Amino acid sequence: MSDHPQPHLRRLAAGILAAGIVAAGLVGTGNVAAAASSSTAPAPASNPTSTYAPEDDFTANWTREHALEIKPDQTNTKPFIDPEFPVMSDKVWVWDTWPLTDLDMNPVTYKGWHVIFSLTAPRDEFFGDRHWVARIGYFYSRDGKNWTYGGDAFPDGASPGGREWAGSTVITNGNQLEAFYTASGKKDSFGCACDPLQRLVNSPGKIHADKDGVWFGGFEDHTVIAEADGEMYQTLEQSESGPIIYAFRDPFVFRDPADGEIYALFEGNNPGVAGTHTCDSHEIGDVPDNHDVPDDARYYTGNIGLMTKTSKGQDYTGWKLLPPVLSAECTNQQTERPHLTIEDGKYYLWTISHKFTFAPGLTGPDGLYGFVGDSIRSDYQPLNGSALVLGNPEEAPLQNYSDYVMPNGLVESFIDTVPDGSGGVVYGGTLAPTLELELDGATSTLVEEHPFAYIPALRNIAGEP
């Protein structure tokens, strides 16, 4: 999350914000083309990784060794966003956003309409408090650039939780949609920063469209499909002795072409009572002799979880938790919104993370981090040696967040908090310019900046309206 339920984390966030304000005078103009052409970084080889069956218990590590290699440069730093950015809705703040996709991770149009889902909150809520009133809203567009706000995706009160947090939405059969998201908090917790419970939910719906727009039916039945089990994924209770924010959220549903089965990635923490973890050599890696692992690093246990659909056919309510595919234990507490693209047989595993969630003794910018492997469960290697793919500029550390990579290398994200150039900040709550990555084995390079909120589909379903 960008804002934080626990009081000490709110203070930390305020500190980061203050740093952004102080640095505001340094804002300059970014130029991606110049950035890409001036790249001199050596390309890490894309070595084949060891692969394992999805049900296996092998978990790759994002180690302290990797994180020590984080070096922001022009190939991995996002261009500055002018504080005069366009706003896509004057009704709602917009943050975490995902396109309607098919099961093969392709953004699709339905009858020629692009559709995206976003976490939304009324603009009269304080921007930092939006998480506690989050609803999944939707937008539609003919051109994938100019979006019309369609309202809430689900009927009021349908969710088993208090707030609706991030997820994914797939079109499965005809006009059948399956929404997956995080029910945050208990049923009565809307508006309250009180209850960090997180459960994964499925709800089936139908998409309809005519020449004037898009609307939904269904989305009335909401089933909890996964809860942290304490054996593979930390429960809320196990996390409570720890000092930092907890996660079991953000399901991303896809079909693995290797076996045709349906899986979901999600964000979790390693199981066990916070503080009982130890920083072992496979989590630390080969660090320089003078690198200390502070004691408190053991509290940082982010992972990327996996589960597989067990219910048959068009029933998306039965799932089985599998061990995490990636662990950031002793490196980072949050591996948010994990998702996947597959290119040339390589599995690119993406996640977003914050500077403040790196374990003590490590640092990296808020932004997009990535790994590459040869199957969904493999010995993922960090892209660029460190996993840093796209970070915020140092002078605008909270500029944008929640990057989502599409199979064509385009990356959408939302504008968070931008220095205004005169000592203040502007809250975003709208989509940022889309960026484009070029992938070459284990190397990623920022190659282009596209218009704000540009999310073009890769396939059309059901013809024109």
2 versus 159: smaller Cβ distance to ligand FRU: 2
Q: Which of 65, 178, 195, 336 binds ligand FRU (CB under 6 A)?
A: 336
User: Does 339 help bind ligand FRU (rule: CB under 6 A)?
Assistant: no
Binding mask 426-445 for ligand FRU (x = CB under 6 A): --------------------
Interaction of residue 131 with ligand FRU, rule CB under 6 A: yes
Interaction with ligand FRU in 137-176: which residues (CB under 6 A)?
Answer: 165-166
Sole binder of ligand FRU in the list 250, 374, 403, 436 (CB under 6 A): 250
CB of 336 to ligand FRU, least distance (A): 4
Catalytic residue selected from 3, 65, 96, 403: 96
- For position 402 contacting ligand FRU by CB under 6 A, the verdict is yes
Dist CA 465 CA 449 (whole Å): 31
Residue of 164, 256, 267, 336 marked catalytic: 336
Tally Cβ neighbours within 10 Å of residue 14.
11
DSSP string for 261-316: -EEEEEEEE-SS-TT-----HHHH-S--TT----GGGGG--EEEEEEEE-S-TT--
Q: How far is the CB of 234 from ligand FRU (least distance, A)?
A: 15
Q: Contact between 249 and ligand FRU (CB under 6 A)? A: yes
Q: Distance between CA atoms of 219 and 224, rounded to whole angstroms? A: 13
Residue 96 is a catalytic residue: yes
Nearest distance from C-beta of residue 167 to ligand FRU, angstroms: 8
CB atoms within 10 A of CB 72: 18
Size of the site for ligand FRU (CB under 6 A): 16
- Side chain identity at 429, as an amino acid letter? G
For residue 216, the 8-state DSSP code is E
Q: Does the protein bind ligand FRU through residue 178 (CB under 6 A)?
A: no
Nearest-CA neighbor of 115 among 165, 159, 151?
151
**Do 214 and 113 form a contact (C-beta atoms < 8 A)?**
yes
CB of residue 388 to ligand FRU, shortest distance in Å: 18
Structure-block tokens of residue 199: 């459960």
Considering only CA atoms, which of 406, 352, 359, 320 is closest in space to residue 144?
406
Phi, psi (deg, nearest 5) at residue 384: 60, 20
Residues numbered 70-99 forming contacts with ligand FRU, rule: CB under 6 A: 95-96
By CB under 6 A, is residue 199 in contact with ligand FRU? Answer: no
Binding site for ligand FRU (CB under 6 A): 1-2, 95-96, 119, 131, 134, 165-166, 182, 249-250, 336-337, 401-402
Q: Which residues are catalytic?
A: 96, 336
